Amino acid sequence: MESMKTALVWFRKDLRIRFNEALEFCALNNLRVIPVYISDDSNSPYSPVQLSSFRQHFHHESLEELNYRIVKLGGSGLVYKEGLAEEHIPAICRKYQIEIVLFATEPGWYEQLQEAALKKTLIKAGIAYKLFYHNYIFRPESLPFNIGQTPRVFTEFRKLVEPCLTVEVPETDSQNVIFATHDESTYALSSAEGEKNLNFKGGETAAAKRLNYYLFESRRIETYKETRNGLLGTDYSSGLSPWLANGCLSVKETLLNIKQYEKEVLANESTYWLVFELLWREYFRWIMAEHGRLLFLPEGLKGNRNRSKIKDRDLERWITAQTGEPFIDAAMTELNRTGFLSNRARQNVASFLVHDLNQNWIEGARYFEHLLVDFDVSSNYGNWAYIAGVGNDPRPNRRFNPVKQAGMYDPEQKYVRYWLK
């Protein structure tokens, strides 16, 4: 009988077992899996921004649970290396006679550079590889437009893709995969690594628990459209973004649950609006996949000459919550103390930095990248470029008046008093 062949699955922003198409592929094709995670070291060209303690803690918890699940399914654990994927992965392939490397593609500029370097090395070594799109809603072939022709306005994108919005249940449960044994170093978490955001625990279990709570237990989804601009508490929005950003939760599984809710419980404007927001996330992913490096430049997609300052004391005042504008300072205080911020607050602090303080939006985007526990490269840079008027916003000036916004969303100043007390 022919012996079972082995595949290497490179985990990146998909720190989960469920709804993992690379693992499903292995289960369907009778391939054993050696699971690998490569952590960028301090000299890596693929990680230019240092992670905050909040991001580190959530990420470490997510890796810890992934390692636990792999062991529970019979494997030796998650192979953990520090350095360059293009160096470690071919070496592991040679050691264990691996014939194919499987991984999910990501839209970020540095992620694309990393993929290109790995592909080049694998091709040179004669090792096959296969890409997956399980962190997207759509695969390239299922889009109603050609790659490279993503509409420049979200509304056009939404109208094109909504008729195609179907998510299928996987052919097989990815938990049926067989993990191989190995003698490599596996992941281990030090309890001292990073500072925890009290509302978010990393890992697949916490992700599934939150999804079930927001939809089926609390039924908060039914009022999402009315509450989504909230500022205090945990249930004004779905709160799923940290798990989606780190890949502990699949966007496809999220959509399937929403559709199940609409079919079995209730479909209303709020349930649709959560799908609407997931489509925004998807849109920014395809925009970044298409335009790459442009979304990391001050002039953005529009090539506008950036007239803002690079850095000065106003940027420092913004970072340290010392602008003198209470609504903005409250939001920046929350961000600095928790590594999280509501969508409404994010829009306001971004607008204030760009349009009131006349600072370079790239500096704000990089600060968010450093701090946010739910940092997602395409959503972050796409939204910042949108606010700055150099992205996908058809309007030339997306300025938020902080006094007016505070009056609308914090009329009793509960938010300001909470964070500036």
pTM: predicted TM-score of the whole model, two decimal places:
0.95
Host H or E run for residue 108: none
pLDDT at 227: 97
Cα distance between residue 166 and residue 137, in whole Å: 9
Q: What is the pLDDT of residues 205-237, one digit of tens each?
A: 999 999 999 999 999 999 999 999 999 999 999
Phi, psi of 104 (to 5 degrees): -90, 135
**Residue 263 is encoded by which pair of tokens?**
């079919």
Which residue is it, tokens 């790239």? 362
Report the chain's mean pLDDT, rounded to a whole number. Answer: 94
pLDDT at 49: 86
Percent of the chain with pLDDT over 70: 96
pLDDT at 382: 96
Taking 3-state DSSP, the helix, strand and coil percentages for the chain, each rounded to the nearest 5, stand at 50, 10, 40
Please say whether the beta carbons of 354 and 387 come within 8 A. yes
Q: Answer whether residue 1 shows pLDDT above 50.
A: no
Domains defined for the chain, CATH in brackets: 5-135 (3.40.50.620), 204-293 (1.25.40.80), 297-420 (1.10.579.10)
Q: What is the pLDDT of residues 339-388, one digit of tens each?
A: 999 999 999 999 999 999 999 999 999 999 999 999 999 999 999 999 99
Q: What is the pLDDT of residues 148-200, one digit of tens each?
A: 899 999 999 999 999 999 988 999 999 999 999 999 999 987 665 678 887 99
Interval 120-140 mean pLDDT: 97
